[in-house]
Amino acid sequence: MATAKKTAPAKTPAKKTAAKKTAAKTTETEQSKAAAGQAKKHEPTHQEIAALAHKYSQERGHHHHGSHVEDWLRAERELRGH
């Protein structure tokens, strides 16, 4: 009588399993970084603030001596999301 040979279930090689775990951790880390990046406010450049402040000044018709400081502060607040 022939003896039936038992076959062990196929195992996933350790390298593939480790690679899957590493890929999952990488994805989680990237998602965490993306979420943190969304929470950060954009820090406007000097040029961005100046351009918006100039726009406000133009809208006023360049009247009112000293209003350029108010225009600048308004532009900063708006661009920083405050």
Residues 6+ apart with CB under 8 A from 57: 67, 68, 71
Highest mean pLDDT among 29-38, 56-65, 68-77: 68-77
Average pLDDT over residues 26-38: 57
- Global confidence as pTM: 0.48
pLDDT score recorded for residue 63: 72
Average pLDDT over residues 44-60: 94
